[in-house]
Amino acid sequence: MTNAHHRRPVDLAKAYRLLNHGPTVLVSAAAGGRRNIMAAAWAMPLDFDPPKVAVVLDKSTYTRELLEASGEFVLQVPVRAQLDLCNALGSVSGRDAEALGDVDKFEAYGLATFAGSTTGAPLLEGCAAWLECRLLPEPPIQQRYDLFLGEVVAAQADARVFSEGRWHFDGQDALRTLHHVAGGHFLIDGDAADAQPLAPLRR
């Protein structure tokens, strides 16, 4: 599924809102003619200006190897229509040639991609948002905690569900974002509600 005509750039000052609701993300990276993509449940925004993100990547992951080699990566926000794909990308290693039939995950699962505006990592079609990131090297925390920091250098979102700095999923159930709990079980983003001003009780 391609949503090219729905993709719009996101102001970097509001890029944090693409992750602020805690979705599962897909992390892609490429280096030396190799590429990979994996699911990650632990990702979050860190700062506004310049925008920064954090993501946890285990030492065993192939994506981490490519990310460290290239110094860049992409966080993309998958959607309900990609539920089974998201689970598969988080369950099979890019190093498992036998499981993947001696091809990479993109070819094995027939994934359509497009080029980013700033990084060389592949961006997956059909997602709700994409954040291209430059690695902010912090070797001690990378080694000790598997925590990677990145500066968001470009961001895009599907305007059908994200515009004017806000998510809005009404009428777009297939584009609702995913929230991994455990063991292939996901929650789907639900209804939105706006808080009203609440005055403190007067004594």
Residue 80 has pLDDT above 80, yes or no: yes
Residue 96 has pLDDT above 70, yes or no: yes
Give the pLDDT confidence score for residue 184 in this predicted structure. Answer: 87
The count of other CB atoms within 10 Å of the CB of residue 56 is 16
CB neighbour list of residue 157: distance below 8 Å, 6 or more residues apart: 7, 8, 10, 18, 128, 129, 130, 163
Q: Are 118 and 154 in contact (CB under 8 A)?
A: yes
Q: Which helix (H) or strand (E) holds 135?
A: strand 129-136
Give the pLDDT confidence score for residue 101 in this predicted structure. Answer: 85
Confidence class of residue 193 from pLDDT cuts 50, 70 and 90?
confident
pLDDT digits (tens, 9 = 90+) for 28-60: 999 999 999 999 999 999 998 899 999 999 999
- The rounded mean pLDDT for the chain is 92
